[in-house]
Amino acid sequence: MSSLIIRGGRVIDPPSGLDGKKDIEIREGKIVAISNRIRSTGARVIDARDYLVVPGFIDLHCHLRDPGRPDEETIESGARAAVHGGFTTICCMPNTEPPIDNEGVVQYVIEEAKKARLANVLPVGAITVGRKGEQLTEIGRMVRAGIVAISDDGDTVRNPQLLRSALEYAQIFNIPVMEHCLDTDLHRDGVINEDYYGTISGLSPSPAVAEESIIARDLLLARFTGGRLHILHLTTETGVKLVSWAKAEKIRVTAETCPHYLVLTDKECLSYDTNFKVTPPLRSERDRKALIRGIKDGTIDAIATDHAPHASFEKELEFDQAASGMIGLETCFPLLYTRLVRTGILSLKKIITLLSTNPAKILGLKTKGRIAVGFDADITLIETKTRWRLTPDFFFSRSKNSPFIGERFIGRVVTTIVGGVIRFQEERPK
Amino acid sequence: MIRGKNLLALKDLSRREIWEIIDQARTFREVLDRPIPIVPALRGKTILLLFFEPSTRTQISFNIAAKRLSADVVTFSASSSSVLKGETLLDTARNIEVMRVDGVVLRHSAPGSAQFLADRLTAFVVNAGDGCHEHPTQGLLDIYTMLEHHESLEDKVVLIVGDIKHSRVARSNIWGLTKLGAEVVVCGPPTLLPAEVEKMGVRVASNIDEALPDADVVYVLRIQKERQTSGLFPSVQEYRELYGLTKARARRLKKKVLLMHPGPINRGVEIDPEVADGPRSVILDQAKNGVAVRMSVLYLLAGG
């Protein structure tokens, strides 16, 4: 295999503090050299002088709807959307039809991903059979087949005894238990945050305490069992405080939030545009600010997309009837870069850490999440000078349920390299 | 002129627009007392009444209002529509659009459904109640009725009692009344008060007996018995004792107080029959004024 050189880009590797113009040499899928000038003896050269060169993004949380809903997404289309958004590795949630709750379905996902030859797709297995919250799945067999975590995402494990078992049992494999935290009885049929905007919208409200009470329960169970807990889509101020407390207590917990919770609030729902309908619901401005603080102080470890493709006929409905979730793989970086980095709210280094370095650590991927010699050549090149407008035809995803269509962004993925192979390259304008 | 194409929420109206609707309604109110209470204002226009939720008075009221304006009225209610067969609101909207009606009056259980329709139709849309969101013509007819007794609502105290949380009537009244300068006080069990309701510009009274003597208007909301089964209050009997406008409580009211209710009344629950039918009750005036107010709204939206 011949080598590949990425020439002259601004290379960012948060753990080493590297942030400067470098050449990178890739051979056999690995980064073999990083230096000021690498001679290109027969190697293919990518001119990256105008680009950022960052470790490929790793999404802890997306929905690929495969098996079950090929009209909304497939492993292939989801992985294509991933590389289009600069993601080189994505974890797909098991709330498919049938769910990823046994070895066979895990194998199916892995095979489909292999065939697609785009991003690395790492399945998350269900915690309970059929995601019904009754009986543990064969976690060991699913680990053998390739899952990297377990989760009943979409639903909370309602029975605390069962979650306790999951937290204990998953320790055999040292994989995280990813919990969707929303108390079913408090959340009820809520579709908007319970506060002023919830009140004036007339929509069924879901209170923050529905999320926080389960986070508190789960943190205590993680302490009690010593298990590894990962909190999915953290959205509230008190949730951040609880996780911060847990970390001080040395509880083995990590937490993610999603781009939309960092840039949007529940006020948006007053338009009744169902693209703003997500679970947990968009929260208040106060919560949004607390999430930003939680990122700054390290309480929040990762930003995950919760990419949730939906068919238009499931979205173009009354708000309370519409499916919940928005797509996010392809807008994640542009959105964060435009709204948070360029505005000086968060540093580029921080964003890269939460999109790549930390997710790799959470998943125990020892050769991913960095641009360093010996690491996998999972690398994303980004252009950050031109302003562009998001149109529906931008998406490689089979679904278009994004509230950001029409928005202007700065920050565009131009090339995505997975295992040393270019898996996405922007078509040059003629 | 009303700025928008539609009437979806009193939250969206200015004080001036509210007054314009009221003033126009006063003109139509006189028409209604004529021997032949009909004007040709909407001749040749087609108004579609689209009711996806059971309603008696609102539907009848809009129907009469449109006919008094000489409009052609088509009524389409849940039991006779294709909704039960599973047609989406989107498809309903598309079908209405090609049939070219001039105005649609929508009653629907989903908050935002009127907005949904308005965004997709050339015809104007009047929200006749969308879930717990708003019921703007109810708010307007309530304001109209209050203004029959007060020249202005500036600094008048309107006490709204009951299930504020699930009430579109309360929300529309709060927006409309506060825009006209009234002091709105809400009172009900904490389980039936929506989050941060004070931010709508109202005061929350924790004790109804303390709030009643100051009120110029007492607006009693209907209590839905199904809220009891969902655990929001323990029993209808206890609700009556704690928040019902009983004969005993009515004695402590101002002499010239107005007693209002959007209907239908649960007699003996939120209000005692003697109080609902008593001299200070304007509940039937509300229904009567509703026709004039709806005529005004239809007329102004159809182009005045």
Across the interface, which of B90, B168, B197 has its CB nearest the CB of A202?
Answer: B168
Q: At what angle do helices A237-248 and A208-225 cross, to 10 degrees?
A: 10
Contact assessment for residue B298 and residue B4, using Cβ atoms and an 8 Å cutoff = no
Burial code of A354-363, b = ≥16 C-beta within 10 A, e = fewer? bbbbbbbbbb
- Which residues does residue B51 pair with via DSSP β-bridges, in sequence order? B77, B107
3-state secondary structure (DSSP) of residue A15: helix
Query: Measured between beta carbons, which residues in chain A are less than 8 angstroms from residue B168?
Result: 202
3-state secondary structure (DSSP) of residue A299: coil
- Taking CB atoms and an 8 Å limit, are A318 and B116 in contact across chains? yes
10-residue mean pLDDT series, chain A (430 residues): 90 98 97 95 93 98 98 98 98 98 98 98 98 98 98 98 98 98 96 98 98 98 98 98 98 98 98 98 98 98 98 96 97 98 98 98 98 98 97 98 98 98 84
CA neighbor of B164 nearest in space, from B183, B147, B139, B187: B187
The single-letter code of the amino acid at A277 is: K
Q: Do B149-281 and B10-135+287-301 have the same topology in CATH?
A: yes
Touching check for A195 and chain B: CB below 8 Å?
yes
Identify the CATH assignment for B10-135+287-301 out of 3.40.50.1370, 3.70.10.10, 3.90.1260.10, 3.40.630.20: 3.40.50.1370
Cα separation, B295 vs B61, in Å, equals: 9
Contact assessment for residue A235 and residue A257, using Cβ atoms and an 8 Å cutoff = yes
Cα separation, A264 vs A285, in Å, equals: 8
CA neighbor of B128 nearest in space, from B144, B113, B146, B143: B113
Burial code of A211-249, b = ≥16 C-beta within 10 A, e = fewer? bbbbbbbbbebbbebebbbbbbbbbbbbbbebbbebbee
Comparing alpha-carbon positions, the chain B residue that sits nearest to A188 is B230
Rounded to a whole number, what is the distance in angstroms from the first to the last CA of chain B? Answer: 8
Architecture of domain B149-281: 3-Layer(aba) Sandwich (3.40)
Sheet holding B203-204, edge to edge: B203-204, B183-187, B157-161, B217-220, B258-260
Is A155 considered catalytic here? no
> What predicted TM-score, i.e. pTM, was given to this entire model?
0.96
- Taking CB atoms and an 8 Å limit, are B196 and A195 in contact across chains? yes
**Residue-level pLDDT at B1:** 54
Both tokens of A221, joined, read 């169970």
Smallest Cα distance from A291 to chain B, Å: 22
Question: What sign for the dihedral angle of Cα A393, A398, A401, A404?
Answer: negative
- What backbone torsions phi and psi does residue B184 show, to the nearest 5 degrees? -100, 130
Would you give per-residue pLDDT tens digits along chain B (304 residues)? 567 799 999 999 999 999 999 999 999 999 999 999 999 999 999 999 999 988 889 999 999 999 999 999 999 887 654 555 678 899 988 999 999 899 999 999 999 999 999 999 999 999 999 999 999 999 999 999 999 999 999 999 999 999 999 999 999 999 999 999 999 999 999 999 999 999 999 999 999 999 999 999 999 999 988 777 788 999 999 999 999 999 999 999 999 999 999 999 999 999 999 999 999 999 999 999 999 999 999 999 998 7
Burial class of residue A311 (count of CB atoms within 10 Å of its CB; 0-12, 13-18, 19+): middle
Touching check for B200 and chain A: CB below 8 Å?
yes
Both tokens of B159, joined, read 């006490």
Q: What angle do CA B46, B52, B57 make, to 5 degrees?
A: 75
Q: ipTM exceeding 0.90?
A: yes
Touching check for B11 and chain A: CB below 8 Å?
yes
- Catalytic, out of A306, A320, A378, A393: A306
Touching check for B133 and chain A: CB below 8 Å?
yes
What residue spans define the domains of chain B?
A: 10-135+287-301, 149-281
- Per-residue model confidence as pLDDT tens digits over B107-156: 999 999 999 999 999 999 999 999 999 999 999 999 999 999 999 999 99
Domains and CATH numbers, chain A: 4-53+376-425 (2.30.40.10), 56-363 (3.20.20.140)
- Interface with chain B: mutation pick from A185, A192, A199, highest number of B CBs within 10 Å: A199
The CA-atom distances, in angstroms, between A404 and each of A219, A314, A325, A354, B119 are 34, 18, 13, 22, 19
- Taking CB atoms and an 8 Å limit, are B112 and A272 in contact across chains? yes
